[in-house]
Amino acid sequence: MAETVQVPNYAYGLGLLAFPLGLFVYSKVFPSHAKKINRKFTAWMCSKMMPRVHAKCIPQKKALFQSFDLLYDSKPLEVLEIGVGPGSNLDFLPAGCNLSCLEPNLENQPYVEQALKDCPDVHFSRFVKGFAEDMREFDDNTFDAVILTFTLCSVRHLQKALSEIKRVLKSVSFEILNHLDKHILM
Ligand SMILES: C[S@@+](CC[C@H](N)C(=O)[O-])C[C@H]1O[C@@H](n2cnc3c(N)ncnc32)[C@H](O)[C@@H]1O
């Protein structure tokens, strides 16, 4: 006759804890590998989520990017995108512009390269690893426009980032698309 084994309640709790605990132990034992996996996963998540977010704010983006027309006395237009992510704004850039990208997570680069294939009129200049707070890779007065979308919320030192943006811009005018109005997301 089959014997019934009573599993103690705490065993289920331990089972549920095993996965996050395993991840935690893995991140302590192999920290650099765990960080790489995290960066890859974050870039992949961003590439899946951001197109949906951007699709909800096309009218706002069209209005923002229209202001690029005002900058056309200098050609080609030099554009820097900070926190470029998967390259959700490339479609909106004016034809013929030179694009530089600043991004702390280099795992986003393949997504940007892929997106650039659909935008042959955008000339890719460089992809720099770095943060908005410290853009020493870029000289003063380099760019006609700086773009940040859904990135300022990740910036830890806002004042530093804004003064760096001011430094690299040829002349200052800000247009920021950050947190979405809840009505846009619905
Ligand atoms: C929510 S994603 C937005 C990506 C893209 N701008 C878009 O609209 O699809 C935020 C991006 O900002 C980057 N990021 C985070 N902190 C940053 C910082 N201090 N400076 C520059 N970029 C940063 C992240 O790596 C990520 O790619």
What pLDDT is attached to residue 67? 79
Q: 24 falls in which pLDDT band (50, 70, 90)?
A: confident
Residue nearest ligand 1's atom 1 by CA:
150
Region 1-6 average pLDDT: 69
What pLDDT is attached to residue 90? 95
Q: Is 82 in the pocket of ligand 1 (CB under 6 A)?
A: yes
Q: What is the Cα–Cα distance from 159 to 82, expressed in whole angstroms? A: 15
Residue nearest ligand 1's atom 23 by CA:
83
Q: 179 falls in which pLDDT band (50, 70, 90)?
A: low
Q: Give, for ligand 1, the residue of 154, 175, 176 to mutate: max count of ligand atoms closer than 8 Å to Cβ.
A: 154
Q: Is 104 in the pocket of ligand 1 (CB under 6 A)?
A: yes
Name the maximum alpha-carbon separation found in the chain: 89
Residue 120 has pLDDT above 90, yes or no: yes
What pLDDT is attached to residue 73? 66
Q: What is the Cα–Cα distance from 18 to 122, expressed in whole angstroms? A: 48
Q: Which helix (H) or strand (E) holds 147?
A: strand 145-147
The CATH homologous superfamily to which domain 58-168 belongs is: Vaccinia Virus protein VP39 (3.40.50.150)
Region 21-35 average pLDDT: 87
- Supply 116's token pair: 């650039």
Find the radius of gyration of the CA atoms of the chain. Answer: 22
Q: What is the Cα–Cα distance from 3 to 5, expressed in whole angstroms? A: 6
Choice among 7-11, 141-145, 150-154 with the minimum mean pLDDT: 7-11
Task: Name the pTM for this structure.
Answer: 0.84
Across 30-122, the runs of DSSP E, i.e. the strands, are 78-82, 98-103
Q: What is the Cα–Cα distance from 75 to 150, expressed in whole angstroms? A: 27
Domain with CATH 3.40.50.150 in the chain: 58-168
Residue nearest ligand 1's atom 22 by CA:
83
The 3-class SS string of 99-132 reads EEEEECCHHHHHHHHHHHHCCCCCEEEEEEECEC
What pLDDT is attached to residue 186? 30
Region 7-19 average pLDDT: 77
- Supply 133's token pair: 């707070």
Q: Is 130 in the pocket of ligand 1 (CB under 6 A)?
A: no
Q: Is 108 in the pocket of ligand 1 (CB under 6 A)?
A: yes
Q: What is the Cα–Cα distance from 102 to 135, expressed in whole angstroms? A: 8
